[in-house]
Amino acid sequence: MNHTPSHWLRPSEAVRELMRKGAEIAQTLPQAWIERLDQALFASPEDAKLLDDPVVLAACRRVNRAELLHWANANLQRPGEPVEPYVSADLVDTARELARRGLPELLMNIARSTQNAAWESWMQMAFSLTHDPVLLEEFLKVSLRSISEFIDSNMRVVSQILLKEKSLHPHEDAVDKRSLVTRLLDGRDVDTEQFGKRLGYSLFQKHRAWLVWSEVADTETQHLEALARALAHLTGTAAPLIVFAGPATLWVWTHAAKPLDLYRLQSVARQFPNMRTAIGSQGAGVNGFRQSHLEALTTQQLMGRLAGAPAVATIDQVRMVSLMTQDARAARQFVVNTLGRLTTEPSIFQRSLHAFLANGCHITQTAEALGTHRNTLLRRLERAQQLLPVPLADHRIQIAAALELLIWDTPLIDDEKLSRRRAGA
C-alpha cells in the first residue's frame, strides 16, 4: 500500500537508505540528543518559569522521547515518507493543563523548540552519513519537511481534541473546585464564608498547604488522594481540602492543629512509591491559605531540581538548602571538608547519621524513625564517625548542614548494588 500523498515526492533510493540509517541511530535515543531535547524545554524565560512544575516538566520530557521514537520507527519502516501523527496521553494531558492555565500558546512554543533541537541533532548526524553535497542537500530537505510536518500534524490533532472538549463542556470551569480555589489564590476579593461553604472547608482556621504529585506516567489519581488523606490524618485533619490541580498533581490544605512530625510523614510516604509531597508553613485565614500554598510550590520546584530531594519536604528545609546552594562550588567544598570520606560511602551511613542528629542524638528515637534495630544503627553510626575528618561532638551543626546538602544533591541508590559494584571493581 502506498502511504505517500500526491504532494509528497518520493525521495531517491540513496536518500531513503540514509533516512533508514539515521532512524536506526535516532532509535537508540543518543544521550546528546536527549540532553538537547530536554534543554529545549527552557528555550525562553516564560517556558522555564512554567516548567518549574516537575509534573509538567516530566511529562514534556516523556513526550519528547516518545515522539522521537515514533518518528524514527516510522522512517525505519518507510524512510522518507510522511509520518502519521502521534498524540500520546502525556501530550493531551499537558495541553489540557496549559489551556487551564490560560497558556495554550506555550504548547506550540515547546513544540517548536523541540523541533529545532531535534533538527540540530539530526543535521549534525547527517554530515557523518555522507559527504556527497548533492545527496546531502536532498537528504536535509526531505528530513526537514518530514520533521516539520510531523510536529505540525501532532499540534493539529491536539488542537482538535481541545476544541471538541471545550464544546462538550462549555460551563465546566465555572463550577470546578479548582476554579474556586484559583480565585482565592489570585488574591481576588471573595466572600470568605460563602467560599468556605462551597469548598466544604473553613477558611477562617489555621492552614497548612501541601502539594502531592508524581512524575511517573499513568499515576492513578486515587493513589495520590490516598497519600494526601494519610498525611492529613497525621496532622489531625479528618476532612482536608483536596483539589485536582492537573496531571498527577493535587493541591491540599489541612488544619494546622498540631506540629509536623517529618519522620512519621516520611514513613507514610514510603508506602506510596514514586509520589512526592511539598509542604508550606502554617498560616491563618485567607492570607495564610495563599501564602502556605506559594511556599509549597517553592518547595516543589526545588525538589524537582535536586536529585536527592526526599519524598516529603517542607519549606523550612528548602529555605536552608536554597541558601546553602547559591554558590555551588563553595557548597561542595564545604561538604567535602566537613564529611571527608563519608561523602563517598553508601548513603545508608550518611542518612543514619543525619537522622541521628535530626532526632537530637537519641538512639532509640532514631532507630524507631528509621525502622532499624538499635544495634544496627549503633554500628552504622560508629562507622560514619570513623569516616569523619572532625569529631562529631565538636561539629554537630556543621556536620548536620553538610549532610543535609549531600543528601538533597545525591540520588538515593540501592546500597546493596553499590556494595556489589565495589566488590567487583
Instruction: Give the phi and the psi of residue 331 in degrees, each rounded to 5.
Output: -65, -45
Look at residues 266, 300, 321 and tell me which one is the last residue of a structural domain: 321
* 312 and 216 within one domain: yes
CB-based contacts of 107, cutoff 8 Å, min separation 6? 94, 95, 98, 155, 158
Closest CA to 111 of 140, 159, 152, 144: 152
Instruction: Give the phi and the psi of residue 252 in degrees, each rounded to 5.
Output: -135, 140
Contact assessment for residue 228 and residue 304, using Cβ atoms and an 8 Å cutoff: no
Q: Which residue has the cell 537530637?
A: 360
SS3 category, 244 = strand
* 160 and 35 within one domain: yes
* 151 and 54 within one domain: yes
Look at residues 289, 321, 353 and tell me which one is the last residue of a structural domain: 321
* 151 and 18 within one domain: yes
* 164 and 102 within one domain: yes
Query: Has residue 4 been placed in a domain?
Result: no
DSSP result, 392-408:
GGG-HHHHHHHHHHHHH
Number of domains in the chain: 3
* 332 and 291 within one domain: no
* 376 and 420 within one domain: yes
* 329 and 317 within one domain: no
CATH of the domain at 131: 1.10.490
Query: Has residue 334 been placed in a domain?
Result: yes
Query: Has residue 227 been placed in a domain?
Result: yes
Burial class (CB in 10 A: 0-12, 13-18, 19+), 406: buried
Positions of the chain with pLDDT lower than 50, given as ranges:
1-3, 6, 170-175, 412-425
Return d(Cα 251, Cα 281) in angstroms, integer.
Answer: 14
* 29 and 109 within one domain: yes
Return d(Cα 260, Cα 258) in angstroms, integer.
Answer: 7
Query: Has residue 222 been placed in a domain?
Result: yes
The per-residue pLDDT for 172 is: 47
pTM: 0.62
* Phi-psi region at 179: left, alpha or beta (left = phi > 0; alpha = psi -120 to 50): alpha
- CA 364, distance to chain mean position in Å, is 35
Backbone CA torsion sign across 104, 109, 112, 114 = negative
Q: Residue 339 belongs to what domain range?
A: 325-424
Query: Has residue 42 been placed in a domain?
Result: yes
* 207 and 97 within one domain: no
Cell numbers for 239? 476532612
* 204 and 156 within one domain: no
CA distances for 299 relative to 174, 239, 319, 355, 408, angstroms: 29, 24, 8, 21, 12
The per-residue pLDDT for 368 is: 83
* 341 and 252 within one domain: no
Cell numbers for 275? 509520589
Contact assessment for residue 111 and residue 34, using Cβ atoms and an 8 Å cutoff: no
Look at residues 321, 339, 356 and tell me which one is the last residue of a structural domain: 321
The per-residue pLDDT for 250 is: 92
Query: Has residue 189 been placed in a domain?
Result: no
The per-residue pLDDT for 102 is: 67
The per-residue pLDDT for 292 is: 93
